[in-house]
Amino acid sequence: MLRFSFLPKIVRRNGSSGPLLLFLLGFLVLVFNLTGRCAAYVLPPHQLIGFMAANFAPFETMVIQQFTEVKTLGDPEQPGAFEEIVTMKSPDLFRVEALGSEAGQTREMDHRYRRLLIANSESDLKAFLSGMGIDMEKVFFTRVDGVIAYCIGDRDPDSPKILIEKERFLPLLLTYRRFSYTGGDVVRVRFKDYRQVEQGWYPFEITYSSGWEISERYIIQSLRANVPVSPTYFDTPPTQPQKEAPSEEERLRRIIRTFEEKYGQ
């Protein structure tokens, strides 16, 4: 507790120090109040979304080669690991093609979360997140693996929400319903290993899970930003790549090398 032992001395030395005493007391109260408020201040959701969008504003298109690890319960025929090319064009065009022995095949995947990782306006992102069922009026502090983050949305673990890193305003976790915000499996998308790409940031590891059925992890091997991509490219079915596909042995070597580089021997 603070003891204002100097105040009686001021009063004794100068009988007219009453206004000064009141000023000092008022000043101290104001300082303590401002300190408490600043420590608990949370940025409004629209400002957080704007800062987050700025991290991906340089990316009009993306061509990504990634290693994909799939775990699907009850489907032993599902490939466990393969390589893919992901092509994205702002704001909401996506296409995925498998390489190697799976070339030419497509998978029905939910790519809505990728819209966070490419150029979008603040207003479009707010509408997009609100359409996923996230309450854009609620925001509070939380933590993700020890990292302080803003959470926009409800506190319930299964409710739609987005967690944004406090330091760099990067999305760390997105939670939503797969089919609609009132039904369907709960989807959780975790973004990790952010690296600087040109003038922005990009997560080089993404984990996608939907209920208890689907779990996929994507590790980026290479990334090219702002390469020319025609919108019609996203309307045509995937074709066999022109270059010769690597052998199964070479493919496995590349997968093992990717894991060794990422997680060590």
pTM listed for this prediction? 0.73
Q: How many CB atoms lie within 10 A of CB 139?
A: 20
Q: By CB neighbour count within 10 A (0-12 exposed, 13-18 middle, 19+ buried), where does 35 fall?
A: exposed
Per-residue pLDDT of the chain (265 residues; tens, 9 = 90+): 444 444 444 444 455 555 665 566 566 555 445 444 444 589 999 999 999 999 999 999 999 999 999 887 666 666 688 999 999 999 999 999 988 766 556 667 788 999 999 999 999 999 999 999 999 999 999 999 999 999 999 999 999 999 999 999 999 999 999 876 556 789 999 999 999 998 999 999 999 998 877 789 999 999 999 999 999 998 876 554 444 445 555 655 666 666 566 555 4
CB-based contact 163:149 (threshold 8 Å)? yes
> Which of 160, 166, 97 has its CA nearest to residue 129?
160
CB 177 within 8 A of CB 188: no
pLDDT of 68:
93
DSSP string, 88-121: EETTTEEEEEE-GGGTT-------GGGGGGS---
Complete DSSP assignment for 212-247: TTEEEEEEEEEEEES----GGGGGSPP---SSPPPP
Residue 84's nearest CA partner among 67, 101, 62 is: 67
pLDDT for residue 184: 75
At the second CATH level, the architecture of 45-238+245-263 is Clam (2.50)
Using the structure block, give the residue that is written with the tokens 């930003």. Answer: 225
**CB within 8 A of 232, min separation 6: which ones?**
none
Token couple for 154: 């409800």
**Torsion angle (degrees, nearest 10) of CA 14, 17, 18, 20:** -160
Where do the structural domains in the chain lie, given as residue ranges?
45-238+245-263
